């Protein structure tokens, strides 16, 4: 039976594009089944219930920031694990039904985020066009398949054009040509894949009490072991203003000694630590760390400690 | 001429309720003009252009988290200042046209956030009702004034019921009865109000370079001077994943010595510090700080330093 | 064969008094042999060569500070272990041959440190007396046994009076009635005694390079694990000004998890860590530590880590 | 009237050699009067009473470590100021009366520290010689001027040979050819000399209470402002074991902004800060500091702060 992957739909979203990349990378024996879902919680629920084996959802965007729905579902819902990531440049295209020219375009439908990022291009190329809002860029593209659509064109991902038989009237029309979205593959909890040497670990930390300096202590547990953070987000716990949990990505794998010791340290001082997974970094970046923090350094120090515990002396 | 205040509309939003509170507190000589705006950026733009004297916008919610549009506009748009805050419990009511009973309600309109928070109540009280999504809770309430409205009832703030001549079929129907939203009053830059002893300061910090430990250094500048943080959010700068600025609230006033020294320290190590304002805390909370961090302690240490610089000895 | 203990002599020193206390505490089956040595290095050398089983030497004094000869021998000589400690109040007596009265005393012999501490008493009680310097307080007392001695009295430990058949003309004549010397028992390297719950650990740390902040990093390794320092001394390494090693005592036992992890952390960042021993605190003081730092906390965090490494999930 | 300088005598000590260097550097109009004193406290007392204008005393040695008498007198006696420093290589010579050859030497007198450092040379060159101990290396040299001296030669500073009309039978015979002693010039309290750009500052810090982490807090006050420590010594306060003050040298001048702010921070958290002086480093070393810590950086941050305090905005 082929694997089944849920994703934030509808067909033609950037998330589907990310999922396609992940599926290609995985080199699966059978073509998997892809299941579009209306919302991030819905996509993750298919994994929890077993309807899907895993789900691809957006985690953060270099322009918009974190995706709260994803962070909150992972932080507080029934436990799930992150098993991989895909970084995808956000490239917007102006899509239309075949035969449409730029001059024909009077009404453009898209999602408000995309409208904001393409505002400059629209002002220059289609100053008279009316902008209509859809629930997603893919939905905007899909709406064009209805001949009675209120819109003549849609701003969406190129993949949406391929899905809905549309042509690209213009490409790469966003203001941030280096905008990137990071997507994560989420599965039911299981053993993390083996370390590759260029891994990332995702955790959620709940503060034991809101004493001043609690965040400083948390960051010190990482920095003392030479573990670099690559993302930190505070999220409300829902129990009043000023009560946060922290969603954190760090360099390294839970099986790396320095990451393991940092996590144990956090476990001791936090009210809760939710481990969400260790997985290969898709940017291939290698961790830079302080001297003395390799697995060999940890092993050597442990051997030394056992020596002095057993026999004294200078180890 | 009365003062003019913009806010995130339409009429009947929680933001209007917060603005009403702020206006009452201010005890203005004339009834001010209240200007509803469609979006947070639009509300802030009225202030920048001088159409309004100030604007009330939501900054964070104890359930949903930060309001990215507000953070980003304040962090990177034309400079504005925060001059005050209002904390407002989020209380949802089921509103309907007069004469409607709970049994009559087949279709409920509201905003997705409110729907999520009232899901439990709806499942119990209106298990058969269809839920329609509006662009805001106030818009959902407003829609009921149209006799041909698709909805029989709306979930919105009680203030929306008063605005639109609706009655409350049920009150306080949200899951988080202690949910709170924090709103801020934003004006054009100007001298901060005088310290009250229970103030808050809001700043945005841009990291000079992304070296590991940069956030730790920032937090240390505060903690070394006994300045407590009450909110910290990372926001992307738009220049690639992993590039963040930090939106921060701390206890105290820019004119407090400890806050001033911390800000100078941050100014020296950050690539930029945007001061957004010092203003009274609306929860009346008093800062708790470390010994040695009062204005008197700073003044006494400065006198001592001047003594040893001028005349040596032990001060 | 009885055990043999070296000590900093001659007979009648405070060190011999400390050794006597340690021997009594130990409840040995046979009366041990006590071997006075002329210097700290000589006493420690008897242990290294096997002439003695252990040696008692002074480590620090609450008025004079550290005893450099002891610190340096332990830090850089052939490895030895500290196996115990004795805290001894420093009480000076004026000793003389039987039949001597205070009025007879014209010349008082003692060690310069003792002279300094008894200066006040001498100025009041023997304002005319000439002060002669001896190589130790015990040597000063011993000199009185020679009828041709240049001195009529000696300032020394009460134990010296008992040794040399002298009488106490005055007792407790030092300025600091709460002065205390801490002595340590030193043996050849061996397994440390089992933890008692109120232990002390002594180490010497050599800095990998003299970068600013190296000492801060060292202290953080302790404080992060809730390990309190009770003594820290910098000592030159002999390789130029500004090159130091640090002689440190901390609360806890090398077999305590938090101490072990701190030592491994130090091992990784220092160029060398010399473990000198873990032994019961003789003041019976209990360690105060941060929450989350007990052996049970460490064990629980390790179990949790193993769980997520093996099976993922939230542990 | 010529200036009068006290020093740790007798004539011919390394301290006198250091004083000679300082006097030459100063280029005084008249040949000053040099006053040898028997002890460090005695030398400092001549300054306090006005008998001398300043005193030269040893502070630390790269082999022996700190000189406790100097640290303690400066930390707790009637206030004095350090106005300068001299670094002097410790070079030992074997001195004898003219006409003596190495073969004639049967008995060598010196101070125990010098004997220890020249042990290797003695074992090779004079294996049969008896070693006699004097109260100082200079006293050993002086004793040779008595034809009935028990010794044939003395190990002392070369300057002692010149003083006492002796010849050098061997030079530079110590084991540590790079051993250095640091001497300080001490005067009555007065305004520090102007910053030179390569200065050192000496302070003594008394801990407010012995809470764990107090030393960490002290070090952080320096490191946060990019001020490097070049020496740190704990010294007992005399009030029980475990109660210390810290004698510290740091890079920079009290009039440097970063040093001034660090000292004010220390003043606020310590029970007492004794400022002992800022003076040129005699090694000419330039401070290395973190970015953002120059006087210009501090001035610019202060200007910015004043701007936002007065007029708000982003400074």
The string of DSSP letters for C16-69 reads HHHHHHHHHHHT-SSPPEEEEESSHHHHHHHHHHTSSSEEEEEEEETTTEE-HH
Per-residue model confidence as pLDDT tens digits over D21-42: 999 999 998 999 999 998 899 9
Neighboring chain C residues of D213 at a CB cutoff of 8 Å:
223
Find the closest chain A residue to C303 by CA distance: A264
Beta-carbon contacts of B305 under 8 Å, excluding residues fewer than 6 positions away, are B315, D254, D260, D263, D264, D267
pLDDT of A39 reads 87
Q: In this complex, do D60 and C236 lie within 8 Å of one another by their Cβ atoms?
A: yes
pLDDT band at A135 (very low <50, low <70, confident <90, very high): confident
In percent, how much of chain D has pLDDT > 70? 98
C-alpha A241/C-alpha C226 separation (Å) is 30
Residue A22: DSSP 8-state: H
Q: Are C233 and C71 in contact (CB under 8 A)?
A: yes
Q: Tell the residue number behind the tokens 């979205």, with chain if given.
A: A181
Around Cβ B120, how many Cβ atoms within 10 Å?
Answer: 12
For the segment B209-227, the average pLDDT, to the nearest whole number, is 86
The full length of chain C comes to: 315
Q: Which helix (H) or strand (E) holds B60?
A: strand B54-61
Q: Residue C113: exposed, middle, or buried by beta-carbon count in 10 A (0-12, 13-18, 19+)?
A: middle
Q: Which of C89, C93, C73 is nearest to C81 (CA)?
A: C73
Query: Smallest Cβ distance to C216: which of D219, D234, D238?
Result: D219
- Dihedral, C198, C203, C207, C213 alpha carbons, nearest 10: 20
Q: Does D315 touch chain B (CB under 8 A)?
A: yes
Find the closest chain D residue to B271 by CA distance: D292
C-interface mutation test, from A218, A314, A315, most C Cβ less than 10 A away: A314
Per-residue model confidence as pLDDT tens digits over D61-113: 988 889 988 999 999 889 999 999 999 998 999 999 999 999 999 999 998 77
- HSE (CB half, 13 Å, CA atoms) of D21? 18
pLDDT of C244 reads 84
User: In this model, does residue C1 exceed pLDDT 90?
Assistant: no
Query: How would DSSP label each residue in C112-143?
Result: HHHHHHTHHHHHHH-TT-EEEE-SSHHHHHHH
Beta-carbon contacts of D170 under 8 Å, excluding residues fewer than 6 positions away, are D93, D94, D102, D121, D125
For the segment D286-296, the average pLDDT, to the nearest whole number, is 85
C-alpha B199/C-alpha D134 separation (Å) is 69
Find the closest chain B residue to D76 by CA distance: B314
pLDDT band at A113 (very low <50, low <70, confident <90, very high): confident
- What's the mean per-residue pLDDT of chain A? 91
Chain B: give the shortest CA distance to residue A309, in Å. Answer: 34
Q: Are B182 and B58 in contact (CB under 8 A)?
A: yes
Query: Smallest Cβ distance to C224: which of A220, A260, A310?
Result: A220
Chain C: give the shortest CA distance to residue D238, in Å. Answer: 4
pLDDT of D147 reads 84
pLDDT of B230 reads 87
For the segment D198-218, the average pLDDT, to the nearest whole number, is 87
For the segment C229-250, the average pLDDT, to the nearest whole number, is 86
Q: In this complex, do D311 and B191 lie within 8 Å of one another by their Cβ atoms?
A: yes
Q: In this complex, do A312 and C274 lie within 8 Å of one another by their Cβ atoms?
A: no
For the segment A67-82, the average pLDDT, to the nearest whole number, is 92
Q: Which chains does C contact via 3+ CB–CB distances below 8 A? A: A, D
The strands making up A244-251's β-sheet, listed across from edge to edge, are: A229-236, A244-251, A199-207, A270-280
SS3 labels along chain D? CCCEEEEECCCCCHHHHHHHHHHHHHCCCCCCEEEEECCHHHHHHHHHHCCCCEEEEEEEECCCEECHHHHHHHHHCCCCEEEEEEEEECCCEEEECCCCCHHHCCEEEECHHHHHHCHHHHHHHCCCCEEEECCCHHHHHHHCCCCCCCCCEEEECHHHHHHHCCEEEEECCCCCCCCEEEEEEEECCCCCCCCCCCEEEEEEEEECCCCCCHHHHHHHHHHHCCCCEEEEEEEECCCCCCCEEEEEEEECCCCCHHHHHHHHHHHHHEEEEEEEEEEECCCCCCCCCCCCCCHHHHHHHHHHHHHHHHHCCCC
pLDDT band at A315 (very low <50, low <70, confident <90, very high): low
Q: Are A252 and A290 in contact (CB under 8 A)?
A: no
SS3 labels along B130-169? EEEECCCHHHHHHHCCCCCCCCCEEEECHHHHHHHCCEEE
pLDDT of A18 reads 97
Per-residue model confidence as pLDDT tens digits over A182-206: 999 999 999 999 999 999 999 999 9
Q: Are D268 and D232 in contact (CB under 8 A)?
A: no
pLDDT of A299 reads 95
Q: Does A308 touch chain C (CB under 8 A)?
A: yes
pLDDT of B112 reads 77
pLDDT band at B236 (very low <50, low <70, confident <90, very high): confident
Report how many Cβ contacts below 8 Å link chain A to chain B: 92
Q: Does C213 touch chain A (CB under 8 A)?
A: no
Q: Which of C109, C102, C90, C57 is nearest to C159 (CA)?
A: C90
Question: A118-145 as b/e, with b when 16 or more CB fall inside 10 Å?
Answer: beebbeeebeebebbebebbbbbbbbbe
ipTM of the complex: 0.89
Q: Does D77 touch chain C (CB under 8 A)?
A: no
pLDDT band at B210 (very low <50, low <70, confident <90, very high): low
Q: In this complex, do B191 and D312 lie within 8 Å of one another by their Cβ atoms?
A: yes
For the segment A259-285, the average pLDDT, to the nearest whole number, is 94
C-alpha A151/C-alpha A153 separation (Å) is 6
C-alpha C171/C-alpha B262 separation (Å) is 56
Report the predicted TM-score, pTM, of the whole model to 2 decimal places: 0.90
Query: Smallest Cβ distance to B180: which of A60, A223, A241?
Result: A241
C-alpha A60/C-alpha B234 separation (Å) is 12
Chain B: give the shortest CA distance to residue D50, in Å. Answer: 16
Backbone angles phi, psi at D199, to 5 degrees: -120, 170
Find the closest chain A residue to C296 by CA distance: A268
- What's the mean per-residue pLDDT of chain B? 91
Q: Are D198 and D105 in contact (CB under 8 A)?
A: no
For the segment D165-174, the average pLDDT, to the nearest whole number, is 95
For the segment A251-272, the average pLDDT, to the nearest whole number, is 96
Q: Which of C290, C230, C240, C209 is nearest to C87 (CA)?
A: C230
CA D298 to chain centre: 31
pLDDT of C63 reads 83
Q: In this complex, do C312 and A275 lie within 8 Å of one another by their Cβ atoms?
A: yes
**Tokens of residue A22, six digits:** 């992940």
Q: Where are the beta strands (DSSP E) in C153-284?
A: 153-156, 167-171, 180-187, 199-207, 229-236, 244-251, 270-280
C-alpha B286/C-alpha C271 separation (Å) is 47
pLDDT of C212 reads 67
Find the closest chain B residue to A178 by CA distance: B240
C-alpha D189/C-alpha D124 separation (Å) is 49
User: In this model, does residue B252 exceed pLDDT 90?
Assistant: yes
D-interface mutation test, from C73, C212, C230, most D Cβ less than 10 A away: C212
Range with lowest mean pLDDT among A21-30, D229-238, D294-303: D229-238
Q: Which has more pLDDT, A6 or D132?
A: A6
For the segment B160-181, the average pLDDT, to the nearest whole number, is 91
Helices (H), A64-205: 68-76, 112-117, 119-125, 137-143, 158-164
Q: In this complex, do C223 and D240 lie within 8 Å of one another by their Cβ atoms?
A: no
Chain C: give the shortest CA distance to residue A234, in Å. Answer: 19
pLDDT of A64 reads 82
pLDDT of D302 reads 95
Q: In this complex, do C234 and D233 lie within 8 Å of one another by their Cβ atoms?
A: yes
pLDDT band at C115 (very low <50, low <70, confident <90, very high): confident
Q: Does D216 touch chain B (CB under 8 A)?
A: no
C-alpha A14/C-alpha A85 separation (Å) is 14
pLDDT of D178 reads 81
Q: Does B212 touch chain A (CB under 8 A)?
A: yes
For the segment B195-209, the average pLDDT, to the nearest whole number, is 92
pLDDT of B183 reads 97
Find the closest chain A residue to C279 by CA distance: A312
Instruction: Establish whether chain B is in contact with chain C, requiring a minimum of 3 CB pairs below 8 angstroms.
Output: no
Residues forming beta bridges with residue C239, ordered by sequence position: none
Around Cβ D94, how many Cβ atoms within 10 Å?
Answer: 27
Q: Does C310 touch chain A (CB under 8 A)?
A: yes
Q: In this complex, do B314 and D189 lie within 8 Å of one another by their Cβ atoms?
A: yes
Strands B199-207 and B270-280: antiparallel
pLDDT band at C210 (very low <50, low <70, confident <90, very high): low
Query: What interhelical angle do D214-224 and B214-224 show, nearest 10?
Result: 110
**Tokens of residue A204, six digits:** 């959620």
Find the closest chain C residue to A203 by CA distance: C314
Neighboring chain D residues of B54 at a CB cutoff of 8 Å:
none
C-alpha B74/C-alpha B87 separation (Å) is 19
- HSE (CB half, 13 Å, CA atoms) of D154? 32
Find the closest chain D residue to C178 by CA distance: D240
Peptide bond into B10 cis (omega under 30): yes
User: In this model, does residue A242 exceed pLDDT 80?
Assistant: no
Per-residue model confidence as pLDDT tens digits over C26-53: 999 899 999 999 889 999 999 999 999 9
Per-residue model confidence as pLDDT tens digits over B264-286: 999 999 999 999 999 999 987 77
Per-residue model confidence as pLDDT tens digits over C134-153: 878 999 999 999 988 889 99
User: In this model, does residue D212 exceed pLDDT 70?
Assistant: no
Query: Smallest Cβ distance to C68: which of D65, D178, D241?
Result: D65
User: In this model, does residue A285 exceed pLDDT 90?
Assistant: no
Q: In this complex, do A311 and C265 lie within 8 Å of one another by their Cβ atoms?
A: no
Q: Tell the residue number behind the tokens 């300025």, with chain if given.
A: C175
Q: Are C83 and C19 in contact (CB under 8 A)?
A: no
Find the closest chain D residue to C233 by CA distance: D234
Query: Smallest Cβ distance to B65: which of A178, A236, A239?
Result: A236
Q: Does C124 touch chain D (CB under 8 A)?
A: no
C-alpha B264/C-alpha B227 separation (Å) is 13
Find the closest chain B residue to A175 by CA distance: B238
Q: Does D292 touch chain B (CB under 8 A)?
A: yes
Chain D: give the shortest CA distance to residue C278, in Å. Answer: 18
pLDDT of C314 reads 66
CA D297 to chain centre: 32
pLDDT band at B151 (very low <50, low <70, confident <90, very high): very high
For the segment A58-87, the average pLDDT, to the nearest whole number, is 92
User: In this model, does residue B104 exceed pLDDT 70?
Assistant: yes
**Tokens of residue C218, six digits:** 């060292």
Q: Are D184 and D87 in contact (CB under 8 A)?
A: no
Q: Are C276 and C202 in contact (CB under 8 A)?
A: yes
SS3 at position A210:
coil
C-alpha C255/C-alpha C194 separation (Å) is 8
**Tokens of residue C110, six digits:** 């003692």
- Dihedral, B66, B69, B75, B77 alpha carbons, nearest 10: -170
Q: Are C105 and C129 in contact (CB under 8 A)?
A: yes
pLDDT band at C271 (very low <50, low <70, confident <90, very high): very high
User: In this model, does residue B262 exceed pLDDT 70?
Assistant: yes
Q: Provide the sign of the torsion angle of the four alpha carbons D269, D275, D278, D284, taken in this order.
A: negative
Q: Are D186 and D5 in contact (CB under 8 A)?
A: no
Torsional class of C147: left (φ above 0), alpha (ψ -120 to 50), beta (otherwise): alpha
pLDDT band at D179 (very low <50, low <70, confident <90, very high): confident
**Tokens of residue A252, six digits:** 């390294």
Q: In this complex, do A312 and C255 lie within 8 Å of one another by their Cβ atoms?
A: no
Give Dmax over CA atoms of chain D in angstroms.
Answer: 86
For the segment D149-168, the average pLDDT, to the nearest whole number, is 94
């Amino acid at each position: 039976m082929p694997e089944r992957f849920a994703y934030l739909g509808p067909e033609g979203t950037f998330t589907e594009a990310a999922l396609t990349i992940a599926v290609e990378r995985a080199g699966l024996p059978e073509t998997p089944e892809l299941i579009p879902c209306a919302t991030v919680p819905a996509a993750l629920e298919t994994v929890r219930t077993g309807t899907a084996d895993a789900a691809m959802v957006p985690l953060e965007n270099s322009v918009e920031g974190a995706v709260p729905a994803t962070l909150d579902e992972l932080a507080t819902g029934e436990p799930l694990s992150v098993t991989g990531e895909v970084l995808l440049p956000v490239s917007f295209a102006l899509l239309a039904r075949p035969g449409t020219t730029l001059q024909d375009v009077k009404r453009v439908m898209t999602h408000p985020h995309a409208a904001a990022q393409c505002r400059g291009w629209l002002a220059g190329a289609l100053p008279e066009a009316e902008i209509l809002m859809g629930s997603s860029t893919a939905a905007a593209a899909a709406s064009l398949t209805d001949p009675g659509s209120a819109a003549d064109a849609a701003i969406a991902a190129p993949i949406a054009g391929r899905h809905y038989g549309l042509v690209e009237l213009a490409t790469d029309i966003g203001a941030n040509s280096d905008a990137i979205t990071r997507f994560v593959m989420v599965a039911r909890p299981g053993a993390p894949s083996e370390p590759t040497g260029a891994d990332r670990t995702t955790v959620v930390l709940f503060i034991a009490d809101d004493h001043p300096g609690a965040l400083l202590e948390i960051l010190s547990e990482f920095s003392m072991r030479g573990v670099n953070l690559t993302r930190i987000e505070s999220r409300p716990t829902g129990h009043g203003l000023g009560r946060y949990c922290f969603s954190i990505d760090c360099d390294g794998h839970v099986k790396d000694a320095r990451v393991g010791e940092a996590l144990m340290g956090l476990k001791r001082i936090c009210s809760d630590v939710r481990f969400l997974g260790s997985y290969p970094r898709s940017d291939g970046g290698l961790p830079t760390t302080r001297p003395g923090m390799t697995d060999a350094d940890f092993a050597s120090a442990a051997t030394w400690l056992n020596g002095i515990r057993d026999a004294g002396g200078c180890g």
